[in-house]
C-alpha cells in the first residue's frame, strides 16, 4: 500500500507547476503517489502534467477534466482526488 498520497488540483497553473512538481519529486518520500487534477485549464498546464506523467508514470496519477468543474459548483480535492487516493497518509498541495 502507498504510504503517502499527495493531492493537487490546478487550473491554469503552468507558471509554477514545474517548480511544484520538481519540489515534490525531490523530497525524500519513499512510497508515494501524486494525484494531480487539472480543471480544464486553458494554458499549457495539461502539457506540463503530461510531460511529468511520461517521466514518472508510476507516481504521477493525472485526472483531466474536459469542462471546468469549479464553475459548476463541483470544487476541490474532496470531490475529485480523495476518492482516488490510496495511502495511509494524505498530503495536500495547492496547484494554483
At 55 the pLDDT is 97
What CA–CA distance (Å, rounded) separates 6 from 25?
11
At 78 the pLDDT is 67
At 96 the pLDDT is 56
The predicted-structure confidence for 21-62, as pLDDT tens digits, reads as follows 999 999 877 789 999 999 999 999 999 999 999 999 999 999
pLDDT band at 79 (very low <50, low <70, confident <90, very high): low
Amino acid at each position: 500500500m502507498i504510504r503517502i498520497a499527495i493531492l493537487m488540483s490546478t487550473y491554469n497553473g503552468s507558471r509554477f507547476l514545474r517548480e511544484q512538481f520538481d519540489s515534490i519529486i525531490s523530497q525524500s518520500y519513499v512510497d508515494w503517489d501524486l494525484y494531480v487534477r487539472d480543471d480544464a485549464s486553458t494554458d499549457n498546464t495539461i502539457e506540463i502534467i503530461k510531460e511529468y506523467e511520461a517521466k514518472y508514470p508510476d507516481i504521477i496519477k493525472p485526472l483531466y477534466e474536459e469542462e471546468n468543474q469549479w464553475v459548476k459548483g463541483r470544487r476541490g480535492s474532496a470531490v475529485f482526488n480523495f476518492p482516488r487516493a490510496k495511502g495511509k497518509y494524505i498530503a495536500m498541495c495547492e496547484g494554483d
